[in-house]
Amino acid sequence: MTRFAFAQVDVFTDVALKGNPLAVVHGADALDDAQMQAFARWTNLSETTFLLQPTDPQADYRVRIFTPGGELPFAGHPTLGSCHAWLEAGGVPKTPGAVVQQCGVGRVDIRLDGERAAFAAPPLRQAPVTDAELAPVLQALGLHRRQVLQAQWLDNGPRWLGLLLDQAGTVLALEPDHAALKSLAKVGVIGPHAAGGACQFEVRGFAAPIGVPEDPVTGSLNASLAQWLIGTGLAPARYVAAQGTRLDRAGRVHIAQVDGQVWVGGHSTSCIRGTLTL
């Protein structure tokens, strides 16, 4: 058996237990695919990551990202949480104030700003949603068509069906049929809050097809929603989104578009540090 340094990090929050937990295994080069998947299934968190030596000379580290149901080429909260754990364990980036992560979609830039980090959203691929695709999803969500202002397929590594709803209250009221969604799509919903609050949008992410009925806070989804909505003029270039409210979390995702690049940021805090023996 081999021992590995291990951390469990709460992401998109500076208050422990209020974000999205992430299991991080350091120095995991000796683990094979089956062991990584088995451990991710055992933790039963939305994602578990494994830090490896980079094969790209420009990267600071390489990461593989697993859900209980399979591997992802990219995901947002694992990116920020893995970066936090790597730095906390003594990682030193090649460029001060910036970290380069290697993962399934290639290199992902991360910039450091005090206690908060932000990743550069990968390129987004979009496609229209047909009525035949949309109808069963709305039924599974219990939505009326008039409550959906816009719909779009969004793909920046993970593929989501993005829905812009009429208001945050509609987002929070959803009671999805997760069994139905499992055979349909991963669905991300977003709706605006009333003006004047700390958060401009409310987000929920339903990922039953990969074994996660509702994700507490989802960086990749927030990235693709931001690219889509900012790009079409439906959201401002800077905003804060809340996610996880219905799960008794208080995730806060900080979005900023700078020179055409969308950055997705948040705090992370380590809750557990120890060793893993496999």
Report, as residue numbers or ranges, the catalytic residues. Answer: 47
- Give every CB contact of residue 24 below 8 A, 6+ residues apart in sequence: 6, 7, 8, 9, 48, 49, 50, 51, 81, 82, 85
200 φ/ψ sector (left φ>0, alpha ψ -120 to 50, else beta): alpha
SS3 string of 26-91? CCHHHCCHHHHHHHHHHHCCCCEEEEECCCCCCCCEEEEEEECCEEECCCHHHHHHHHHHHHHCCC
Cα distance between residue 181 and residue 272, in whole Å: 33
Q: Is 203 helix (H, G, I), strand (E, B) or coil?
A: strand
